[in-house]
Structure 1
């Protein structure tokens, strides 16, 4: 059996950029997306507006980068790319749990779910592309192992992302219809069924 390969490295941020992104995280948790302005970022990070504008064109750009960093951090918690269907299914369920527990994403899921329409549902952004690359690499390895069905890994990854994303974003909507254990069990079955040869 092949050894699991290291997961791709998330983007690296310079110290000044990190200060701005830390400020964005704090603002999102405290006030939501609408509280993230260049002026608020400057105040919270202790940096000047021109310094922020050297990297980002506007506050929306900073929010997108902050969300990308959060996803990169979550993916970075996996030490290796899954190489079997069972390992990939486990990783996807673990990722959804980490995503839902993350301070920034939990705040958005609970208080501002419409933010996901803007940042994830209107177009495929850099955060989703990072997830898709992670999934496609694992799908390819699972195919070589023989436990994942044939097909273009990138295409299978897109549908896996849609399945998991829909389940996470709709979780609160169906909480009265399905308990947490059942939600996890059914998501696991959906993901496993999509990958099974």
Structure 2
């Protein structure tokens, strides 16, 4: 079996385990069993479950960012970026893995909120940076360092999305969409 195929099976098995048990209760043994491989096969690729789960979360980020980046929108760079931000935020809110981690193992998110950015977060910031540069080129986004603007915008959107997930019933989809639109559009317009 090709190495990439084994990696895919292991990532899929880890995703299934996280959904079933949460991060804390997922073990490399569970992942190996679900993927129908030996434990040494898993250990050769990932030294521990935390690293494997981080790779699963990065993969989920890629899925959400790819879907959000395909939003068919015409208009200015700012309008396209705001539409993409809304689509990505909704994708995060609806993503079953992110919901499970937030609900069952919120402490797993703390390093990514307080200490450092993860790979998926850096990918999101880079996507926003490119969108900001496009909007600045057409004059629809205010001047400023695109990397700095993207970073601040990401942190604001991330806080809103995580908070909205906590109050899912209080902050419905339409309210979140409108508030995100106002937040992002106002910030980018300057």
Give the TM-score, by structure 2 length.
0.87
Deviations 1:138-176 (A, max 9, x none): 111111111111111111111111011101111144557
Unaligned runs of at least 5 residues, structure 1: 1-12
Deviations 1:23-54 (A, max 9, x none): 11101111100122111111111122222222
Contact residue 71 and residue 84 of structure 2 kept, 8 A: no
2:13 paired with 1:23: yes
C-alpha change, 1:99 and 1:179, in structure 2 (3 Å) is: closer
Q: Within 1, Cα distance between the matches of 2:34 and 2:99? A: 21
Give the TM-score, by structure 1 length.
0.84
Deviation, structure 1 residue 114: 3.1
2:22 paired with 1:32: yes
Unaligned runs of at least 5 residues, structure 2: none
More helix by share: 2
Q: 1:1-197 maps to which residues of 2 (within 5 A)?
A: 14-77=4-67, 78-79=69-70, 84-174=77-167, 178-197=171-190
Q: Within 1, Cα distance between the matches of 2:129 and 2:170? A: 32
Query: Which is further off, 120-129 or 84-93?
Result: 120-129
Secondary structure of the 1:40 match is helix
